[in-house]
Amino acid sequence: MSAIPESPPRSWAEVDLSGIRHNLATARKLSGQGIMAVVKASAYGHGLEAVASALEQEEIAFFGVANVGEARRLSKAGVRAPIYLLGGTFPSEREEVIAHHWLPCLNTMEEARHFDQLARHGGTVVEAHLTVDTGMGRGGFLPADAPAALEAIRALPGIRISGLGSHLPSADEDPVFTRTQFDQFDNLVESLPHRRELKHIHLANSAGLLGYQSRTTTLARPGLLLYGVSPLKGHGADLRNVMSLKSRIALIRDLPSGHGISYGRTFVTTRPTKVGTIGIGYGDGYPRALADHTPEVFVRGQRVPLLGRVTMDQVMADLSSCPDCRPGDEVELFGPNIPVQEVAQKAGTIPWELFTGITPRVKRIYSG
Ligand SMILES: *Cc1c(COP(=O)(O)O)cnc(C)c1O
């Protein structure tokens, strides 16, 4: 109705859902196993509900979330695939877990006894997986204790253990340790007397799926690779880019030689410079730490360097090589032309943190 057009977003993230489906198919083909799609932390910043509904038609064995808050969002969104809680639960959350048929992982006997008590009280049985700590140090039973714990929990009438999982701390960094870990995990599973009752056996994250083989697992739990990024060098050629972080040139100005740019004046022009001001900053999750490592952005078919520090809402780029650049032009911060790994590395971080750090101010725009 209004005659005044709504302004376009300053910064946005284009999310190609068909790319996620492609990467899921790749994960399935490479692993030859069922898939627990890891969608914690709002699907690594891509948007929990949108990603889950895009994957729902794809026969996902489980959606893996970090906590009850995320499980609640998936249930509200009407997701039908089983929802698995990757982390431990607080005592006050467990009634809700049981009521919604979310699958908890059991890390301690205390947790198990409490779930058993609550389930029996409610006249039901809670299905759960056992977590074994084969090296992550974050949760689960130690391998030496796992067989006895499994037997003890089998005796609890309120719990049905249908799976067993463990996690890899170093699959993208330490192949020797990881190979040993796979072997120990497989040996443990093969030694369990009631192994056949465990329908779901899982160990591999993205790096584990790409680089290693197990004799016993039935499921892989990829996160990062669904979002188009391989944590292992030399893999990932068959993955598709999913998120492109974008903004626009707001201003273009000609500055003389000797003019400082941005806070701290860490950059001073050494020649007349055409400077573009772009509407994105660390308030959007574009890391301030980048500035010391000559980040580049992509505009009108070319890479151009940023100048000076990243500010909260804006960054400056050297557009001297781009006579055709105009205010309003789209700028890619990462995506098909600027790999997210490159940006993460220059910022001294990892793609997982970069994705999950993109703030709510950045509008997610879906296609595919
Ligand atoms: C986050 C997580 C994953 C997925 O890890 P990626 O490296 O992103 O593939 C798998 N399993 C567990 C237990 C996790 O916490």
Return the bridge partners of 256, or none: none
Of 40, 212, 227, 282, catalytic: 40
Q: In a 3-state reduction of DSSP, which class is residue 367?
A: strand
Question: What's the predicted TM-score (pTM) here?
Answer: 0.96
Same-domain check for residues 222 and 263: no
Q: Decide if 40 is catalytic.
A: yes
- Expressed in angstroms and rounded, the spacing between residue 233 Cα and the centre of ligand 1 is 18
- Expressed in angstroms and rounded, the spacing between residue 336 Cα and the centre of ligand 1 is 24
Same-domain check for residues 192 and 77: yes
Q: Is residue 18 part of a domain?
A: no
Tens of pLDDT, residues 239-297: 999 999 999 999 999 999 999 999 999 999 999 999 999 999 999 999 999 988 999 99
Same-domain check for residues 54 and 197: yes
pLDDT at 6 over 90: no
- Domain-ending residue, one of 166, 195, 227: 227
Q: Residue 266 belongs to a domain with what CATH number?
A: 2.40.37.10
- Expressed in angstroms and rounded, the spacing between residue 319 Cα and the centre of ligand 1 is 40
pLDDT for the residue numbered 140: 97
pLDDT for the residue numbered 137: 97
Same-domain check for residues 219 and 251: no
pLDDT for the residue numbered 2: 65
Only one residue has tokens 């940023």, namely 306
The ligand 1 atom nearest the CA atom of 206: 9
The ligand 1 atom nearest the CA atom of 171: 7
Q: Is residue 322 part of a domain?
A: yes
Q: Is residue 236 part of a domain?
A: no
Range of 248's domain?
243-367
Tens of pLDDT, residues 8-46: 788 999 999 999 999 999 999 999 999 999 999 999 999
Mutate to test the pocket of ligand 1, among 20, 23, 38 (most ligand atoms within 8 A of CB): 38
Same-domain check for residues 191 and 251: no
Mean pLDDT (whole number) for 159-167: 98
pLDDT for the residue numbered 1: 56
Mean pLDDT (whole number) for 221-229: 98
Cα torsion angle, 232, 173, 43, 366, sign: negative
Total tally of structural domains belonging to the chain? 2
Q: Residue 167 belongs to a domain with what CATH number?
A: 3.20.20.10
Return the bridge partners of 301, or none: none
